[in-house]
Structure 1
Amino acid sequence: MHAFRDDALGEHDAVGLAAAIRRGQVGADEAARAAAERVREVEGRLHAVQVHVDSPRPATGGPGLLTGVPVFVKDNSDHRGLPTGHGSAAFTPRVATQHAPFVRQFLSSGVTVLGKTRLPEFGFSPSTEYEGDAEPVRNPWHTGHSAGGSSGGSAALVASGAVPIAHANDGGGSIRIPAAACGLVGLKPTRGRVVANAQSRRLPLDLVNDGILSRSVRDTATFLAAAERYWRNPDLPRLGLVEGPSGRRLRIGLLLDSPAGAHTDDATRAAVTETATALERLGHTVEPVEPALDPRFADDFLTYWGLLAFLIGATGRSFGPDFDHRRMDGLSRGLRAAYLADWRRTPGVLRRLGRTKEAYAAAFRGHDLLLSPVLAHTTPAIGHLSPSLPYAELIERILAYVAFTPIDNVVGTPSLSLPSARATDGGLPIGVMFSGRPGAERTLLEIAFQLEAERPFRRIQDL
């Protein structure tokens, strides 16, 4: 299910479209209208959009690297004049009176916001599905399958060609999971690389990083360069605009099974192994590595996840005066109840999660990057991760699926999902993941450019 056609957007990525707008070949308003028409074409089957902007206009201010590119903002971030619903039926969304800090940074690149995309409730699930009669967000490569989560709405729109890029954020894999499910590029930046939102700064452990989903490496690189023009963290190395691979030969650690204990399925294992072989042909050294994580890591991360659900339930009236935690979905309620039954573990959990960076850093000794699966198995069918399932069954399925991505959120390291050359028997994309030391976005982008040139990403419009 895609909307690629011969219109103002054509087959441009965001960088190509912005260049056409600068040259006067396409008007920004024309691009916005074409994107809005594409969204209308796919939305009836993908169900990716939460709210539309009535009259989208390019961001004001000086020219940016992405001026005129039509985009969507994920519906857990405030955009002035639009309601923020967080994917939840537990309250009535209120219209935001100002932009969230990251949204201001995103707008500084010159993009045109067309609306907001759907996510699972409070971004907790790796699949954008709901209780009751609400339609799930569907994968444009196969609408019977999940588009991933929590940035599933953004991923579906970008993969289908409705917009070139869209906002996403990642607190346990929520950029990289939908990127893998939908055949996209998804980079979770280093903690502190982009502006943090107020909620993140108040948490005992900040897991969430904002970014985008894109169809090309250069779009992600250009977004990061634009973000740095707006604000640069002086504690991280300057990034600038990365425009291609370097000639550097890297030592890359290979991880096939999750250190949290989940086993990788055959198709995913083959995709990662084939990527390792391609890297070796390009002159890199790839060798097995096994990060020595605390065996309690998965349980500790789940407890922290439950703490977040508890805090939302306890402070929900900040979302809206009619907030009722009893109307939270089955996953949120289950996480909250599990935390309340075991809350005394919290101090030990926070200490152990804080020490994860030491074990993870050891895996990088002698290595520039780590290569692993994004997920332990390929993209599931709609319903496999439904919040309507009994909590114990649902959480077991989530832990067997999301077995690699949370480590980088806990440690704060940058991590990138790329489409592999391999697909499932049903034609669905399979992602592979590269992770680096703090501040290593340049190295991640350079290896991504090299793989994109060596093994061009599959295109949905070629099916």
Structure 2
Amino acid sequence: MNPHELTAAQQLEALQAKEISSRELTEHYLARIERHAALGAFVTVNENALDEAAKADERLAAGDREPLLGLPLGIKDLAATAGIRTTFGSAAMAEFVPSEDSWTVGLLRRAGAVVLGKTNASEFGATCYTENDVTPAPAVTPYAPARYSSGSSGGAATAVAAGLLPVAHASDGAGSIRTPAATCHLVGMKPSRGLVSPAPATSFLSASTEGPIARTVRDAALLLDVMASPAPGDLYGWRPGGPFSTALHLDRPLRIALWTDTGTEEHADPQAELVVRRTADVLTRLGHEVCEIPLPARYDEPVSRAILTWFAYQVGAVVRMMVPPERTHLLRPYSRHLLDVNETLSANDVVTAQALLARYASTFLSEVDDYDAVLTPTTNGAPVPIGHYDGDEADLMLKWSCHTPWANLAGVPAISLPSHVDCEGLPHGVHLVGRHRGDAELLALAAQLESAALWNELHPPSWHH
């Protein structure tokens, strides 16, 4: 068996048992990263990865038992990594090397992870596809390399699906963990607001959070266990009652709402309908009550405008803080569009948009208050071809990724699980949303579906080479 065929949990067990060394694992993955560079998974490979692995082996030999000790890991290129180039997916930041780790990266490093490099991301995380002017090729799904692996965590999902990483760090502002997981037949978890700290950033309306992309629910839980340690002073910070990885068991049946309505002018894709129906059947057989309900709120014109305002404000704030004016010409067209929109916004525009989006999110929470979870497709259809977003990008992205943003705005946990691979060989994902701070229960439900064989672990061709 090749090392990448082991799950992250199995690799950690093998490291502790001295059945494999961190250096052996790191060499294996570095060779695979080089061999499959055309998939667009990585922006930067850490030139010190083998040294980090050697130090991890010394600590393992001394009996150290840090939770991720010796495990190879990729960090999304939107998170600062001390001493490793961090471009934020932008040619305007192509040579930036941070002097400090972000809070979460620091947690992962202190837990013993060996950082192999930075996984590909869209420019400042602004799009649901991963194509930028830093890497020569977009991040693609290994199942169909002419199609995007979504974004903005496209590189992370590509890497795990192709066997270039056992598990990956990612982040999610409107679906950026879950839609890439869906395109790559993986598990992607967006935690509740405050469980994983955004430090050093902070905001009164914090829609984005970091989380794991993995092959199994247990692997996702293992990584989340380390990430779930909020920074001091975090406005929304909270700690779970115990490790998620040891609580993957449901002790009661749940009441689950479902819908497939996109909330846009786009009809539900037939494969998206299939995702929900087959998952609902499995849930019912497991003893849960599944009820179809109307979509609580739609993407009407005010909501769509508020989403554009909020994204323009966020991207504009980051660009103004990080990109020198003389380098803004290096931004991609969509980023420049958001920057132009940002220039027209008043403080009142931003506050009004926040209030409208808060009301939109609260409508969902009110309508699903009697349910323990919500079931929808992750995406409205299969992974899209390279070049699909030629035209009104905001409209095209929303029509495809319409099911995920409300969970970010509401601050509730959400997870994408593999559903099936269709007759064209394209993966599809199912989306489950839990109650606020109900992350443990949501992961346990996901583990139950995994055990009930909701999906088979089907690997893409690159996995075997």
TM-score, normalised to structure 2, is: 0.89
Aligned length: 445
1:222 matched to 2:222: yes
What is the aligned partner in structure 1 of residue 43 from structure 2? 50
- Looking at structure 2, the residues matched to 39 and 133 of structure 1 have their Cα atoms a distance apart, in angstroms, of 14
1:103 matched to 2:109: no
What is the aligned partner in structure 1 of residue 283 from structure 2? 279
| SS of alignment partner, residue 161 of structure 1 | coil
- Looking at structure 2, the residues matched to 323 and 424 of structure 1 have their Cα atoms a distance apart, in angstroms, of 47
Q: After TM superposition, list the pairs within 5 Å mapping 1:426-437 onto structure 2.
A: 426-437=424-435
- Looking at structure 2, the residues matched to 181 and 440 of structure 1 have their Cα atoms a distance apart, in angstroms, of 25
| SS of alignment partner, residue 33 of structure 2 | helix
- Looking at structure 1, the residues matched to 16 and 422 of structure 2 have their Cα atoms a distance apart, in angstroms, of 39
What is the aligned partner in structure 2 of residue 171 from structure 1? 173
Q: After TM superposition, list the pairs within 5 Å mapping 1:22-421 onto structure 2.
A: 22-43=16-37, 45-56=38-49, 57-58=52-53, 62-130=64-132, 134-199=136-201, 201=202, 203-228=203-228, 235=238, 237-243=240-246, 244-259=248-263, 262-293=266-297, 295=300, 296-317=302-323, 321=324, 324-341=327-344, 343=346, 345-385=349-389, 389-390=390-391, 393-420=392-419
> Contact 1:236/1:439 (CA < 8 Å) preserved in 2?
no
- Looking at structure 1, the residues matched to 195 and 228 of structure 2 have their Cα atoms a distance apart, in angstroms, of 8
| SS of alignment partner, residue 298 of structure 1 | helix
- Looking at structure 2, the residues matched to 85 and 310 of structure 1 have their Cα atoms a distance apart, in angstroms, of 16
| SS of alignment partner, residue 460 of structure 1 | coil
> Contact 1:90/1:325 (CA < 8 Å) preserved in 2?
yes
> Contact 1:291/1:362 (CA < 8 Å) preserved in 2?
no
> Contact 1:76/1:85 (CA < 8 Å) preserved in 2?
yes
| SS of alignment partner, residue 210 of structure 2 | strand
Which has the higher mean CA deviation after the structures are superposed, 258-267 or 146-155? 258-267
Aligned-pair CA distance for 1:269: 1.1
Aligned-pair CA distance for 1:293: 2.8
- Looking at structure 1, the residues matched to 103 and 134 of structure 2 have their Cα atoms a distance apart, in angstroms, of 33
Aligned-pair CA distance for 1:461: 5.5
Unaligned runs of 5+ in 1: 1-5
Aligned-pair CA distance for 1:281: 1.1
Aligned-pair CA distance for 1:197: 2.3
Percent of counterpart pairs with the same letter? Answer: 29
- Looking at structure 1, the residues matched to 32 and 144 of structure 2 have their Cα atoms a distance apart, in angstroms, of 18
| SS of alignment partner, residue 36 of structure 2 | helix
Deviations 1:140-171 (A, max 9, x none): 11101111100111111100011110110011
Alpha-carbon RMSD across the aligned residues, in angstroms, is: 2.4
Unaligned runs of 5+ in 2: none
| SS of alignment partner, residue 348 of structure 1 | helix
TM-score, normalised to structure 1, is: 0.90
Deviations 1:118-147 (A, max 9, x none): 111111111111369931112111101111
- Looking at structure 1, the residues matched to 160 and 276 of structure 2 have their Cα atoms a distance apart, in angstroms, of 24
- Looking at structure 1, the residues matched to 227 and 329 of structure 2 have their Cα atoms a distance apart, in angstroms, of 39
